[in-house]
Structure 1
Amino acid sequence: NPKWTKWLQKLCCPCCFGRDCLVLNQGYLSEAGASLVDQKLELNIVPRTKVVYLASETFNYNAIDRVKSRGKRLALEKVPKVGQHFHRIGLPPKLGSFQIFVEGFKDADFWLRRFEADPLPENTNRQMQLQFERLVVLDYIIRNTDWVVVKDPIIQLAAIDNGLAFPLKHPDSWRAYPFYWAWLSQAKVPFSQEIRELVLPKLADPNFIKDLEEDLYELFKKDPGFDRGQFHRQIAVMRGQILNLSQALKDSKTPLQLVQMPPVIVETARAPQRANSESYTQSFQSRRPFFTRW
């Protein structure tokens, strides 16, 4: 459904509206894509999310669709022999993301404030650090431009609200959309051996990366407005993020040092000698957004 606050923002301040680095109307694919990346990397911090068709009276439909729906229902009630021949009874289904609801979780801000007042025991703090590193890996690969995470008392993270990820370029206009977890104390601790052993072998495997790209392609092409060129730009950004993350893990950097690495784009090009082979070109982003901390 449309967000009226966003509509007012677009109407009153169009120059600062939206994220020009994101593909329009693709938030539901971003949600499902984040879940796919989470499953492939075995991070297990994103509730399972799929793309489905759903219909509901609470969804945003135009007047024609609602009148047709009521007319068909009325015809089915009054003249069943005629109504049973309708192709569909009710409102037309809409394509969107469907995510498993997580219970017993609270917003991250609540727990961060509580942990500042009441420090965690060493073992629990270690558990939180490992969960935090999984979040960093996911957020960085999909280049999430939002950050909403919830956790429960046993220090289990659930990375939800991933609809503003998979940009087609690194932010270079008004806002930088930084990773806000980079300001946490956990971001100053080098990546652990556990996360390196979990993630590095996969990211270093070209076949794994290729399979991930193909799975994302099969997912994203479900969108009626799918654009292959835009998708390739999204994947080029993701490859650059994977390249930086792999290097940071190899060098035992901290998450804070990771986000300070120059943004990279890795594009593919057909090799002229062999039509079936691909070569990669790497480039760095030189343009910086106007606001670097917002």
Structure 2
Amino acid sequence: ALNSLYVLCGISIWCVCSGTHGGDFNHFPDDPEFADIIQRAEHAIENGVFPERISQGSSGSYFVKDPKGKIIGVFKPKSEEPYGHLNPKWTKYFHKLCCPCCFGRGCLLPNQGYLSEAAASLVDSKLGLGVVPKTKVVYLASETFHYSAIDRAKSRGKKYALEKVPKVGRRFHRVGLPPKVGSFQLFVEGYREADYWLRRFEAEPLPENIRKQLQSQFERLVVLDYVIRNTDRGNDNWLIKYEKSGEEGGEQKVSLDSCIKIAAIDNGLAFPFKHPDEWRAYPFHWAWLPQAKVAFSQETRDLVLSRLSDMNFVQDLCEDLYEMFKTDKGFDKTMFERQMSVMRGQVLNLTQALKDGKSPIQLVQMPRVVVERSRSGGQGRVVTLGNAFTQTFHCKRPFFSSW
């Protein structure tokens, strides 16, 4: 790469010619539909239709639009995560600065939320759940993202060079701001927060066929959250879409055309490397719902049990997650293996609960299990699974055991 020193307004700025463009990274040959959506997002930004920062939440996340201004996705940059160095919302920075002893979630790796979002979508796809809007890791650059003063100065310097010295300026691979890596989740339309619909359903009970649909969708959400050990599932970060068929005589007419769907969004605080500490358990808030007291249906068992009970399937899933997680600059293979040990334990518990006909609330009351690659030592009751893995039962009961 050629480094050229330009003096702009009396300020010396090093301009590095080896910049990268988002197009160098955003290749999805196995998913042309997703690739087309990302291309539309890039074209929109190039034509001045910039992503819009979302006011809610504690991080920098953005509604991404197509060239016509329609929202097509939600982008969450790694650098703008709750404790990222470029988080534009000062509350988390103040928290980190003033309350370091209570900083973050001690069971999660910092600044890997974007990977957790994409990994949740991968698990959803592998298990055939269909509740997580498609999410992948992408690179985007936009003036509306939060950049450091240095990055913005470099961008201005490159533009100046291109204008004043075109032959040299053309050597820059990228003239604008550097792309940010993050998760891109497809935007879902017609959904509202689960809390809204759950209150409606209490006042207006659902017809039996729709109630069964809701129960089936709810069980898929439970399966997802339990496998990835989501530490942030409240009734405000999963969505429900209820499409009614029509009206007759002033009263709702429900037919086979009516349907109900769940969308599990905000999956960035999952895949812990250890089970949450007892004093801060991060419970699954859906466990308080009446749907959690109903035993898993035969439909759910037929969907996932054969896969979850197959060690080859679980190993393939771990390998797919490895290929995704290792792309992060801060990737640590030892910590990743600990994350997978927790996930394997969750899979083991879920498999047994499905076989025994348990309900979601009974599932979360089961003792915590870690399944790690065989080695000597360890705490709790240890059982060897063949020659490859060791199963450890933790003595501490989970949060819900007191119910």
Give me the TM-score of the superposition, normalised by structure 2. Answer: 0.68
The 1:63/1:288 distance shift into structure 2, 3 A limit, reads farther
Structure 1 counterpart of 2:114? 28
2:326 counterpart (221, 228, 253): 221
Task: Tell me if 1:241 matches 2:346.
Answer: yes
Question: Once the two structures are aligned, what percentage of the paired residues are identical?
Answer: 69
SS at match of 1:59: coil
1:215: Cα distance to partner? 0.2
Cα shift readout 1:12-52 (whole Å, capped 9, x = no counterpart): 33332310000010000000000000000010110100011
Structure 1 counterpart of 2:393? 284
1:176: Cα distance to partner? 0.3
Structure 1 counterpart of 2:367? 262
1:292: Cα distance to partner? 9.1
Structure 2 counterpart of 1:76? 162
Task: Tell me if 1:62 matches 2:171.
Answer: no
Relative contact order, CA 8 A, sep 6+: which one is greater? 1
| Greater shift in the superposed pair: 100-109 or 87-96 | 87-96
SS at match of 2:374: strand
Correspondence list, 1:1-294, <5 A: 1=80, 2=87, 3-147=89-233, 148-153=237-242, 154-172=259-277, 174-269=279-374, 278-287=387-396
CA distance in structure 1 between the partners assigned to 2:338 and 2:292 by the alignment: 29
Structure (1/2) with the larger strand percentage: 2
Cα shift readout 1:178-217 (whole Å, capped 9, x = no counterpart): 0100000000000000000110010111211111010000
Structure 1 stretches of 4+ with a deviation exceeding 6 A read 288-293
Does the CA contact (< 8 Å) of 2:192 and 2:239 recur in 1? Answer: yes
SS at match of 1:104: coil
1:143: Cα distance to partner? 0.2
Cα shift readout 1:134-172 (whole Å, capped 9, x = no counterpart): 000000000000112001113200000000000000001
Does the CA contact (< 8 Å) of 1:172 and 1:290 recur in 2? Answer: no
CA distance in structure 1 between the partners assigned to 2:124 and 2:308 by the alignment: 13
1:79: Cα distance to partner? 2.5
CA distance in structure 1 between the partners assigned to 2:399 and 2:154 by the alignment: 48
- Long gaps (5+) in structure 1: 272-276
1:239: Cα distance to partner? 0.2
CA distance in structure 2 between the partners assigned to 1:173 and 1:263 by the alignment: 12
1:70: Cα distance to partner? 0.8
Q: What amino acid sits opposite 1:168 in the alignment?
A: F
1:59: Cα distance to partner? 2.2
CA distance in structure 1 between the partners assigned to 2:144 and 2:232 by the alignment: 26
The 1:201/1:289 distance shift into structure 2, 3 A limit, reads closer
- Long gaps (5+) in structure 2: 1-79, 81-86, 243-258, 377-385
The 1:233/1:212 distance shift into structure 2, 3 A limit, reads same
Cα shift readout 1:81-135 (whole Å, capped 9, x = no counterpart): 2210113211111211111011111111111111111111111100000000000
CA distance in structure 2 between the partners assigned to 1:174 and 1:27 by the alignment: 23
CA distance in structure 2 between the partners assigned to 1:131 and 1:84 by the alignment: 53
The 1:291/1:136 distance shift into structure 2, 3 A limit, reads closer
Structure 1 counterpart of 2:23? none
Q: What amino acid sits opposite 1:166 in the alignment?
A: F
Does the CA contact (< 8 Å) of 1:175 and 1:289 recur in 2? Answer: no
Does the CA contact (< 8 Å) of 1:175 and 1:291 recur in 2? Answer: no
| Greater shift in the superposed pair: 17-26 or 172-181 | 172-181
1:58: Cα distance to partner? 2.3
Structure 1 counterpart of 2:44? none
| Greater shift in the superposed pair: 170-179 or 12-21 | 12-21
Q: What amino acid sits opposite 1:257 in the alignment?
A: Q
Report the aligned-residue RMSD.
Answer: 2.0
Does the CA contact (< 8 Å) of 2:229 and 2:343 recur in 1? Answer: yes
Q: What amino acid sits opposite 2:343 in the alignment?
A: M
1:64: Cα distance to partner? 1.3
Q: How many residues align?
A: 288
Does the CA contact (< 8 Å) of 2:123 and 2:317 recur in 1? Answer: yes
Structure 2 counterpart of 1:274? none
1:270: Cα distance to partner? 7.2
CA distance in structure 1 between the partners assigned to 2:166 and 2:400 by the alignment: 62
Give me the TM-score of the superposition, normalised by structure 1. Answer: 0.93
